[in-house]
Each structure stands twice: as structure tokens, then as C-alpha cells.
């Protein structure tokens, strides 16, 4: 690293998110991000591989948090409870970033390339979650099913949290989403009589 | 279409799958596929946009089958039952292709590009399934949760079917996978006492 730049990473993140929101992801260059942050392109590339990775920079830390939460969950927890504890912890961390996660999601949705990258990251998270459950002694296919169920619960709660004008409590939405999944898989809530056409 | 070529599409599919298996997807050209099939490149491009699309050519028909099965499912079926009926029908159709689906999966797993494409197709299937459930009158988030649960059940059963040396009955594996998901989400099968390290 070169000379000390106070919170260069944070400034670059903020500048990139602003520009992606203002002009669109495709229309923004690394040079413009660096300029807006009052830093050089070289400094940008010390922190991020490219302009896409600015949006996925938090994925590693999120996966670490999810995995360590599941690994440390009490042994008495069932696989689905452990998976839910992991995605709830991830949800709490996302909520702490405040407006950033919602801004980020709005940007990701504008680009097919970014949506694809997001799918891949979510798939990696599901695989890491299943792996961690197997390390807890959960057999297959239960480990993968609990991991997929946990990720579905997370995604659907997150989409609702992002869509709500007045954002609710994300960990609470995740718990509610799990309860609804339990009701759905138990076969509850039969199809309504009146179809919508 | 030009002159009549008996089952040109089927011959191109067979030739492509053979070559992808023998040399790898990246090392195979459209010219080689056409040659192996005894057809011209021009005929290839009348049937497929590019060599990747040969592997995803069945996705549209599979989605149509899944969606129409769910749309026509008895109204008394709960959302998860309707979703399961859809993925079971898809599983039966895949099983009918015999060795082709297993060959295809082996090829997809060799390439990051193909795995990503597969993720996108599966995500489209889940979205189409959720949409069809909403048309049946299922509210959100139940429609999305039932769709995601159905797709998870399908994926995990399919992975097992592909991995088994002596392939079982895919629709039956899907039904078993659903029963296990029900047990998992109900909180059953607590984590075993002995951890694997």
C-alpha cells in the first residue's frame, strides 16, 4: 500500500454507489469513481479488482459470518434452526449497512450481468451453508435441503425488506419467512378458490 | 428451412454431446459438430444459436411442461403439492431422454460458463413456477416460497439421480426429496451428537 488515505475503501464504495445510481453501472468508469472519491485509479485497483467487484466486495465477509454462526450454533439445534441462525446473522449484518444494501440491490437489478453474478454468489453461499451443516454431522440430502430452504427464506425476506418503503427489521422478516415456509411445506394454505386470470 | 434433413436437430444434438464428452466443451467447434453429424454449419445455425445453446435447447419445453402441469393441477392441491406435481412432471420428461440428461449434466459441470448458464435457467424456472402459483390465487410470499422449495427438491433429487451409478426413478426421487424437505423444515433430525471434523 502507498501513502495513507483515510478510509479510501469506504470513499470508493460511496462514490461508486452514487455514480451507479446516477448514471447506471454500464456508463460509469473506474476513472470517474476514483475522481469522485478524490483518489487515483491506482488506489481503486488496490482495493477492488474491477468496477463490478465494488458491488460484491462484502460477499466474503457475509459468507464468513454465515458459516461461523452455523458452525458455532448450539448442538441441540436442528439443521433448519442452525441454517436459520446463520441467515439471520447475515440479515442483521446487512441491516447494519443501512441504506447501502438497498442502494446496492437497486443497482444489481438494473443489469443482467450483475444479476447473474448475484445468482452465482447466492449459490456459493448455499454450498458453503450445506458444507457447514455436513461438518456438524448432518447427512445428505438433509444438509443441502436445509441449506436451500435457509437461502430461500433469506432471499424472500430480503426482497420484501428491499421493496418495503419503510424497511422493517430484516432478521424479524427472516424469522417470519421461515415460519411461512414451514406452513407451506406442511401443505398448509390450500389454493384459494378464486383464480386470478 | 432448406432441403429436408432427416432429424437434423437430433443428429446435431447427438454429435455435440459426443464431442463435448470426448474433447471438452471449450475445445469443440460448431464446424466439428456439423461434420460429425454429416451436416453443414448452416444447418447447425438453423437449429441452434451457438454451441452453448445445444445444451440448453430443452429448457423452454421443460418450463412449458412444468408451468402447464401446475396450471392444470386440481384446485384442491396446496401450493407445495402443485409445485411438486410440476417438478415431478419435469423429472419424468428428463428421465425419458435416458442417457442424454446424465451426459448433459456431466458436460455442464466441466465449465464455469455452463454452470452459470444453468443457474440462470433454474432461476427462470423458479420465477415461472412462482408466477403460475400466483395465477392459481396463491399469495406472496407463499407462492415464491413454494416455488423455491419445489425447485430445491427438484435440484437435489436430480443431483442424486445423476450421481447414482444405477439411476433410480427420478419422479420417485423427487417425491422422496419432498418428504425429506418436509421433515427438515418441521425441524426434525436434530444434529447428530458426533461432529465430523
* Contact partners, residue A37, CB within 8 Å, separation at least 6: A8, A11, A12, A14, A15, A44
- Determine the distance in angstroms separating the CA of A21 from the nearest CA of chain B, rounded to an integer: 25
How many angstroms separate the CA atoms of B14 and A194, rounded?
46
Q: What is the pLDDT of residues B94-126, one digit of tens each?
A: 999 878 888 899 999 999 889 999 999 999 999
For residue A168, tell me if it sits in a domain: yes
Beta-strand (E) ranges in B140-187?
Answer: none
What is the value of ipTM here, to two decimals? Answer: 0.85
Chain A residue with the nearest C-alpha to that of B115: A120
Decide: A88 and A174 in contact? Cβ < 8 Å. Answer: yes
Q: Which residue has the higher pLDDT, A139 or B187?
A: A139
Q: Specify the pLDDT at position A58.
A: 87
Residues of B in contact with A80 (CB under 8 A): 184-185, 187
Average pLDDT over every residue of A100-128: 91
A contact test, residue of B114, B116, B185 with most A CBs within 10 A = B185
For residue A167, tell me if it sits in a domain: yes
pLDDT band at residue B32, thresholds of 50, 70 and 90?
very high
- Give chain B's mean pLDDT: 90
Peptide bond into B141 cis (omega under 30): yes
Q: Specify the pLDDT at position B164.
A: 84
Q: What is the pLDDT of residues B35-76, one digit of tens each?
A: 999 999 999 999 999 999 999 988 999 999 999 999 999 989
B1: which 3 cell numbers? 428451412
* Contact partners, residue A103, CB within 8 Å, separation at least 6: A17, A21
Q: Specify the pLDDT at position B189.
A: 46
For residue A193, tell me if it sits in a domain: no
CATH number for the domain spanning B33: value is 1.10.10.60
- B72 and B133 assigned to the same domain: yes
First-to-final CA distance of chain A: 60
What's the total number of domains in chain B?
A: 2
- Residue in A137, A188, A194 nearest the CB of B137: A194
* Contact partners, residue B23, CB within 8 Å, separation at least 6: none
- A100 and A160 assigned to the same domain: yes
- A142 and A120 assigned to the same domain: yes
- B88 and B158 assigned to the same domain: yes
Helix-, strand-, coil-residue percentages of chain B, each rounded to 5: 70, 0, 30
- Subunit contact A80:B185, Cβ cutoff 8 A: yes
- Determine the distance in angstroms separating the CA of B2 from the nearest CA of chain A, rounded to an integer: 35
- A43 and A100 assigned to the same domain: no
DSSP-based three-state secondary structure for A110: coil
Residues of A in contact with B190 (CB under 8 A): 76-78
Q: Which of B54, B69, B88 marks a domain boundary?
A: B54
**Domain range for residue B67?**
58-180
Q: Specify the pLDDT at position A39.
A: 95
Q: Specify the pLDDT at position A192.
A: 46
Q: Which residue has the higher pLDDT, B143 or A194?
A: B143
Residues of A in contact with B146 (CB under 8 A): 184
Q: Is the pLDDT of residue A194 over 60?
A: no
Q: What is the pLDDT of residues A93-104, one digit of tens each?
A: 999 987 888 889
- A42 and A101 assigned to the same domain: no
For residue A94, tell me if it sits in a domain: yes
Amino acid at each position: 500500500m502507498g501513502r495513507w488515505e483515510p478510509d479510501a475503501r469506504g470513499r470508493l464504495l460511496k462514490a461508486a454507489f452514487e455514480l451507479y445510481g446516477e448514471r447506471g453501472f454500464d456508463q460509469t468508469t473506474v476513472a470517474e469513481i476514483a475522481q469522485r472519491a478524490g483518489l487515483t485509479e491506482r488506489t481503486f485497483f488496490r482495493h477492488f479488482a474491477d468496477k463490478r467487484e465494488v458491488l460484491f466486495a462484502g460477499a466474503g465477509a457475509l459468507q464468513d459470518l454465515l458459516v461461523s454462526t452455523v458452525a458455532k450454533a448450539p448442538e441441540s439445534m436442528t439443521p433448519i434452526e442452525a441454517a436459520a441462525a446463520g441467515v439471520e446473522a447475515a440479515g442483521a449484518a446487512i441491516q447494519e449497512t443501512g441504506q447501502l444494501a438497498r442502494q446496492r440491490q437497486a443497482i444489481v437489478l438494473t443489469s443482467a450481468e450483475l444479476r447473474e453474478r448475484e445468482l452465482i454468489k447466492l449459490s456459493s453461499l448455499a454450498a458453503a451453508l450445506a458444507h457447514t451443516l455436513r461438518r456438524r454431522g448432518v447427512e445428505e440430502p438433509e444438509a443441502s435441503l436445509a441449506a436451500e430452504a435457509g437461502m430461500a427464506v433469506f432471499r424472500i425476506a430480503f426482497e420484501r425488506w428491499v421493496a418495503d418503503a419503510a424497511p422493517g427489521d430484516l432478521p424479524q422478516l427472516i424469522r417470519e419467512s421461515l415460519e411461512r415456509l414451514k406452513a407451506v411445506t406442511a401443505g398448509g394454505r390450500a389454493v384459494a378458490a378464486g383464480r386470478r386470470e
